Structure 1
C-alpha cells in the first residue's frame, strides 16, 4: 500500500465531506419513511373511523365527535404503525440508493460501513424515542380522553332516549317520541308515555329540552298537558306552561366509567391499586402492558436493522434485491407476531416479560451481525503532496 502525506487540513476537509454525505443519506431515507408512516396512519384512521360509525348511526352523535374519537385512537395504533413505516420506507429508499449505486460510491469513496448506515440507525433511534414518549405520555392521555368521550356518548340521554321521528322505548315502561330536533337540541312536538303499576300517564308538549336540575337529568317540557289513566278508570287531566319530567329513574345505572389497561399511566401498570378487586385480579395483565409499552419501541431499531441487512448487507446486484427483501419482510412479520404471542402469554406468567425485550433485541443483533459480516472492497482516499485525494493501491 502506498502512503502519501497529506497537507494540513486535508483530514478535516475529508471529514466535512463525509458529514455532507451522511446528511444527504439521512434526508433520502427520512422522506420515504415519513411518507410510509403517513400512509399507514391514514389507513388506520379510515379503518377506525368506519368502526366508529355507530356513534352517529346508533348514538346520534355529531360527525365532530366521530372525528375526535378517531383521532384519539391514533396514538395507541402508533405502536404498530411506526415500525412498519420505518421498515417499508427504509427498504424503498435503501433499495433505490443501492440500485443507483450511490451507496456503492460511498464505499468506494472510503466510507466505512458504519458511516454509511449511521443515518438510517439515527432515524430508527429517533423513531424509537418518539414511540417511547407516545407510549408513556401521549397514549394514556389520548385513551383516557377517548374513553370519557365514549362513556359520554353511551350515557347521553338525548341520544339514547330521543330519536327524531321514532318511538323510542326505554326501560321501566317509558316511551318517547319527538317530531323534530333542531341544531340547538330543542325537541318539537313531544309525546311521552309512562306505564306504571298504578296506571298510565301520557305527556304531550309543544317543545322540550333535556337539561339538569339539582344535578339530576330532567326533560323540561313547555306548553303541554298530561293525562293520567288510573286503574280504577279515573282520568286526571292537567295542562301546564312548564313541567320538569325526572329522567334519573330511567338512566342505565349499570353503565360506569372504567379505564382499560391501554388507558392507564405507566406507574398505574407497574404499581396497581391492590385494594381494587379488578386491578388485583388482572395484576399480571397490567404488568404485561407496562413492559409492552417499554419494549415496543425497540421494534423500530429491529426493523431498520433488517432493512439494512437486506439491502446493504449483501453484494451489489443489478437485477435487484427482491429475494433478500422478501426474506427480511418475512423475518420482520414473524418477529412481530411472536412478540404479540409473548404479550398474551405474559398475562399468565410474569417472568415471560423479559422475552418482550429479548425478541426484538436478539433479532436486531442477528441483523447487524449479518450486516457487518459482509466485507466490502473499497478505495481508501488519501491525499497527494498537492492535496488531491487519490485512491490507495494494495
Structure 2
C-alpha cells in the first residue's frame, strides 16, 4: 500500500479508538447513574447490575461505533485540511479517490463488525437484559432493602415496607408485607423480622416475630385475622418470563414475519452496516475546512448532520412500524437519499464531465 494511503489510514484510526473509549465510558456512566437512581442494586445486587450495564453498553455499540468512526474521519482529515496537506495532495494530482480509498479500508471492517453486532449480538444482549430487568422487578430480597422505603412488584402484587433496619445484623423492625393471590389479599405486620440463610432448594426464608396476619376477601365478608409470635415465610425464586420482545428475536425469525414491527426491527439491523459506511463517506466533505474556519464550526456542522440523519432513521423505522411506509421502500429510502447526496458531492467532477459530454 502506498505511503499516502497508510498515512491517511493512521490519521483516521488514531482518533477512532480514543473517541470510542470516551463514548463507551460516558454511556456506561449514564447507565450506572440511571440504575442507581432506580435502586436496581437493592433488588439485583451490584454484580448483576454491573452485568446489566455491560449488556446495555454492548447494545449501544451499534450506535457508538459509527459515531466514533464518523467523528474520527472528521477529526483526522480535518487536521490534514488544516495543515494544508490535502491541498498538497491535490496539487500533486491525487484526487478524492486517494482519500476515499483509505477511509473505506478503515470503514468496511468496522461496518462488517457493526453488522454482526446488530444482527446477532443485539438480540442476544436484549434477551439477557430483559431477563435481568424482569428479575429485578420480580425478586424481593430483603437483605438488599433499605429502611423507610416501599418495595413492590406490580406483576406479583407484592409490597414490602421496612421502617427500620440494623446495618450490622440485618434485622428489620416494623415490617409491612402485602401480597395478592387471586381474590384474596393478605397483609402481614411484624414487630421484628430477619432473612435467614437461603435453603438448599434456593428458597429464601424470612422469620417474623410478634405480628398480625390479615386475610381479606375481595367479594365476601369472610375476612380473617390471626396473631402470631413467630412466623416463617418462604419465598420461591421468581419465574422470569419476558414474553415476546421483537428486539430479542433472532434476525431470521424477524425476516420471516409479516408484522410491521418485526419488519422495521429487521430493516434497522440490516441497515446498520450501510449507515456506518455512509456516515464515514459523508464525513469526508465535512472534514474540509479553510485556514480561517474554526475547528468548533466544523465539529458543530458534523454533529448537526449526524443528529438529523440518526433522527430521520428513527422516524423511518417508526413509519414502518406504524404501517405508514410499506416494507419497500421501508427504511431504505433514507439511506438511498443519503447515498445520492454523498455520491454527488464526492464525485462531482465525474458528474460534471458527464454533463459536459451531453452538452
Asked whether the two chains share a fold, i.e. TM above 0.5, the reply is: yes
Residue deviations 1:167-186 (CA, integer Å, cap 9, x gap)? 8687689776773366xxx7
Alignment deviations for residues 92-139 of structure 1 (CA, whole Å, 9 cap, x no partner) = 111110121222233333434312321112222222111101101212
Q: Which one of the candidate residues 225, 247, 252 is aligned to 1:267? A: 252
Conservation of the 8 A alpha-carbon contact between 2:146 and 2:162:
no
In the superposition, the TM-score normalised over structure 2's length comes to 0.74
* Partners of 2:340 and 2:282 in 1: CA distance: 10
Summarize deviations over 1:278-324 as a string: whole Å, max 9, x none: xx9xx211111011100122222112221212345xxx843238777
Q: Which residue of structure 2 lines up, in the alignment, with residue 179 of structure 1?
A: 165
Q: Number of paired residues?
A: 334
Partner of residue 363, structure 1 = 338
Q: How far apart are the structure 2 equivalents of 1:372 and 1:178?
A: 71
User: By how many angstroms is 1:207 displaced?
Assistant: 4.9
Separation (CA, whole Å) in 1 of partners of 2:294 and 2:50: 41
Q: Supply the distance in 1 between the matched residues of 2:11 and 2:188 (Cα, whole angstroms).
A: 73
Q: Which runs of 5+ in 1 are unaligned?
A: 1-17, 273-279, 376-394
Q: Contact between 1:163 and 1:178, CA under 8 Å: does it hold in 2?
A: no
- Counterpart residue number, 1:390: none
CA contact (8 A) 1:164 1:181 kept: no
SS of the residue 2:339 aligns to: helix
Q: Which has the larger radius of gyration?
A: 1
Q: Distance in 2 between matches of 1:317 and 1:220?
A: 71
8 Å contact kept, 2:210–2:227: no
Change (3 A) 1:177 1:209: farther
Structure 1 contact 179–188 (Cα < 8 Å) conserved: yes
Is 287-296 or 37-46 further displaced after alignment?
Answer: 37-46
Aligned to 2:263: 287
Q: How does 1:105-124 map to 2 (within 5 A)?
A: 105-124=88-107
1:48 is matched with which residue? 31
* Kept in 2: contact 1:212–1:218 (CA 8 A): yes
2:44·2:139 contact (CA, 8 Å) conserved in 1?
no
Q: 1:355 to 1:53 in 2, by over 3 A?
A: same
Deviation, 1:153, is 1.5
Q: What residue is the counterpart of 1:138 in the other structure?
A: 121
Distance in 1, matches of 2:277 and 2:107, equals 5
The alpha carbon displacement at 1:60 in A equals 4.3
| Structure-1 residue corresponding to 2:353 | none
Q: Is the 8 A contact 1:140 1:263 kept in 2?
A: yes
CA 157–308 in structure 1, closer or farther in 2 if over 3 Å, else same: same
- Unaligned regions of 5+ residues in structure 2, if any? 216-221, 351-359
Q: 1:308 aligns with which of 284, 296, 301?
A: 284
Deviating more after overlay: 136-145 vs 104-113: 104-113
What CA distance in whole angstroms lies between the structure 1 residues aligned with 2:301 and 2:61?
A: 24
2:354 is aligned to none
Change (3 A) 1:245 1:368: same
The residue matched to 1:297 in structure 2 has which SS?
helix
CA distance in 1, matches of 2:159, 2:4: 76
Residue 19 (structure 1) aligns with: 2
Whole-angstrom distance in 2 between the partners of 1:107 and 1:180: 74
1:337 paired to 2:337: no
State how far apart, in whole Å, the 2-side matches of 1:246 and 1:106 are.
Answer: 75
Q: C-alpha separation between the residues in 2 aligned to 1:32 and 1:172?
A: 51
Instruction: Find the aligned partners of 1:106 and 1:207 in 2 and give their Cα distance.
Output: 75
**How far is 1:258 from its partner?**
2.6
Are residues 351 and 227 of structure 1, via their aligned partners in 2, closer, same or farther at CA, if it must alter by over 3 Å? closer
Structure 2 match to 1:72: 55
Residue of structure 2 equivalent to 1:380: none
Deviations 1:161-204 (CA, angstroms, capped at 9, x unpaired) = 9734458687689776773366xxx743676677999x997767
Give 1:33 deviation, angstroms. 2.3
Residue in structure 2 matching 1:163, options 113, 130, 145:
145
**Residues 286-295 or 116-125, more deviating:** 116-125
Q: Secondary structure at the match of 2:331?
A: helix
Instruction: Indicate how the Cα distance of structure 1 residues 214 and 43 shifts in structure 2: closer, same or farther if over 3 A, else same.
Output: closer
